[in-house]
Amino acid sequence: MIIGVDRFDERLELATSFGATHVINTSTLEGSVVDKIRSLTGGVGPSITIDTTGNMGLIGNGMEFTANRGQMILLGVPPMDGLLSVHLVPFMQVRRIDHLKFLPRLTSRRRESCCAVVLKEMLRHQNLFRR
């Protein structure tokens, strides 16, 4: 299962074209994104969460809904003075955060998979990501 989350329909359509099986439009969502993702995943949460926004609220949500022993990958750049309140003991016991290690791994597999095509297509549509 691949879940795309955004507030713009164009980006969600792009996510679907890249293989997202479910999309959530946060601008029309009733309730919380945490509850919606937990519902879609049977209460477990995703094993891998990738944040490309750098938005502190969304990073916090991701930390909350990522599955126990799951991995959260931060590709977006948060504000330099960004702070996040985290319940550390439960978080340290069950989750891991990576940043910038993921992208080189993704691009190094370009010969083995379609990752290069996906990245190229994302760059071609980069105007969608500048809002």
20 within domain boundaries: yes
Print the domain residue range for 62. 3-99
18 three-state secondary structure: coil
113 within domain boundaries: no
Question: In the prediction, which pLDDT does 110 show?
Answer: 47
According to DSSP, residue 113 is labeled S
The mean pLDDT of the chain is: 79
Within 13 Å, how many C-alpha atoms sit on residue 58's CB side?
A: 19
- How far, in Å, CA of 60 to CA of 26, rounded? 15
pLDDT digits (tens, 9 = 90+) for 31-63: 999 999 999 999 999 988 988 888 899 988 998
CATH of the domain at 84: 3.40.50.720
9 within domain boundaries: yes
The answer on pLDDT for 92 being more than 60 is yes
Nearest partner of 114 among 21, 19, 47, 50, judged by Cα: 19
37 within domain boundaries: yes
Question: In the prediction, which pLDDT does 38 show?
Answer: 95
- How far, in Å, CA of 37 to CA of 31, rounded? 11
Percent of the chain's residues with pLDDT above 90: 34
8 A C-beta contact, residue 96 and residue 72: yes
67 within domain boundaries: yes
89 three-state secondary structure: helix
Residue with tokens 């126990």: 68
70 within domain boundaries: yes
Whether pTM > 0.75 for this model: the answer is no
